[in-house]
Amino acid sequence: MCYAIPGKIKSISDTVILVDYFGEEKKAYNDFYDLAVGDYVFAQGGYVVQKVSKKEAEEILSVWKETFFELQEVDLRLSSLDLKSAGIERKTALILDKIAQNSSLSKEEALYLINSENEREIELMLKTANFLRQKYLKNSCCVHGIIEISNRCQNMCSYCGISANNKTLSRYTMTKEEIFEAAKEAVNRHGFKALMLQSGENHGCSVDDLGYVIERIKNELGALVFISFGEIGLKNLEKLYKKGARGLLMRFETSNPEIYRNICSGNELEDRLEHIKNAYEIGYLIATGSLIGIPGQTKEDIINDIYLARDLKAEMFSFGPFLAHPETPLFDIRPVMEKEMLKTLALARFIGGKEVKILITTAFETLSKDARKKGLLSGANSVMINVTPRQYRKLYTLYPKRAHDQEDIVNQINDTVSLLRSIGRAPTDLGAS
């Protein structure tokens, strides 16, 4: 199974290449390969990650050709928008109409929308977000793999089940060989083209070892690597970039510095933001966002979170519900409702705009079994599949009863692909336009 469609190079201008996908042209950066016009490549997140032989590319494309256009039609049908304003406030209708016409949303309008409790208004809000997603990004949906390389953590964040607060958890750190093997299986056997490597903070795998693995993934497998190891510092960010990492997944958790201090045991939000900004300056693609439903958070904080993710120039937004873990100080906090998460995703699309990828998080899938489908129909266009070896996956307990923890990777892929097909989405990442 393949999670990206190969494209044919139409032109090359220094490190920027123009790739053709069934008549659609997209730009991609080429940092790594010797390429010529007419070659076939896979791109992810706007980077060329693999060169493919003509024969292989033509085989894949012949399978995709019909499906590609069929899926687009289904998507177009499901995302059409009829802004009938019966049963909704005039102000809501005007705001949604304005967004559908490409205008940007003021903070006051965003707050007005997030505060709506009217079912019909919420429904129209989610539909408008889906309409915009289709209009800007068509039907491509990124399917990234995540490998949780260690559950060791020195931090005492009060929301997190793998924090040092949890004394009952068995801790693991995968060896560099194990990480590479898991990546190899994900790329070569399952067809992933983008992988997130994630862990707690200070996990016992040295930066040199991580660099070694990332370089091998880049050179031997050909996949876009995102790192998510917490605040590793500028030097290490640079080191891993040189080895081939091109994305950073780091949530700021909340845009409210006071809440941040409370839940991140006295650490400062400013330091985390600095880290994200440094990574952006180095050249990393940024995936960031916050926890929805943490104690003290207001609707205005959520709106501020979305604006902050946008201001950090995120390529991908990751907003997910906070789910209490029994072995943490916040064990008795109730999660937000599904509709609050859906509203957040829709507002993320309204505020984040044209290019941004919006992820359905595993936490949301744990909160609601229909999260993927509903989220993808509310502005989101990205999902993650857990490809951590199963014996470790069950120990990466950020929160209890995590969705897909016991599922075989092949089953997860099959379920994902059939869901995507049912709503007209192609499991691809054609790169930034």
6/320 with CB nearer ligand SAH: 320
Among 227, 363, 376, 403, binds ligand SAH (CB under 6 A): 363
- Number of residues lying near ligand SAH (CB under 6 A): 20
Q: Is 320 in the site for ligand SAH (CB under 6 A)?
A: yes
Residue nearest to ligand SAH according to CB distances in the complex:
230
| Cβ nearer to ligand SAH, comparing 193 with 325 | 325
Binding window for ligand SAH (CB under 6 A); candidates: 98-106, 127-135, 174-182, 245-253: 245-253
Report how far apart, in Å, the C-alpha atoms of 218 and of each of 18, 196, 213, 386 are: 21, 13, 9, 20
- For residues 250-289, which are near ligand SAH according to CB under 6 A? 250-251, 253
Both structure tokens of 162: 């793998």
State the minimum distance, in angstroms, from the CB of residue 163 to ligand SAH.
8
CB 379 within 8 A of CB 345: yes
CA distances from 199 to 155, 184, 416 (A): 12, 19, 24
**Amino acid of residue 166:** N
Taking CB under 6 A as the criterion, the residue among 46, 145, 222, 230 binding ligand SAH is: 230
Is residue 402 within 8 Å of 52, Cβ to Cβ?
no
Binding mask 392-421 for ligand SAH (x = CB under 6 A): ------xx----------------------
- Comparison of 251 and 349: residue with beta carbon closer to ligand SAH: 251
Across 132-234, the runs of DSSP E, i.e. the strands, are 142-150, 194-199, 224-228
Say what angle helices 338-352 and 299-311 make with each other, to 10 degrees.
40
Reduced to 3 states (helix: H, G, I; strand: E, B; else coil), residue 208 is helix
**Between residues 7 and 321, which has the closer beta carbon with respect to ligand SAH?**
321
The pair of three-digit structure tokens given for residue 251, joined into one six-digit string: 């949530």
Which CB sits closer to ligand SAH, 325 or 374? 325
Which residues within the stretch 168-227 sit at the binding site for ligand SAH (CB under 6 A)?
Answer: 198, 200-201
State the DSSP string of 254-270: -S-HHHHHHHTTT--HH
CB 182 within 8 A of CB 389: yes
Q: Rule CB under 6 A: which of 131-160 touch ligand SAH?
A: 159-160
Closer to ligand SAH at the Cβ: 300 or 327?
Answer: 327
Q: CB count, 10 Å around CB of 20?
A: 14
Stated as kind and residue range, the H or E segment containing 51 is strand 47-52
Which residues would be at the binding site for ligand SAH (CB under 6 A)?
159-161, 198, 200-201, 228-230, 250-251, 253, 291, 320, 322-323, 325, 363, 398-399
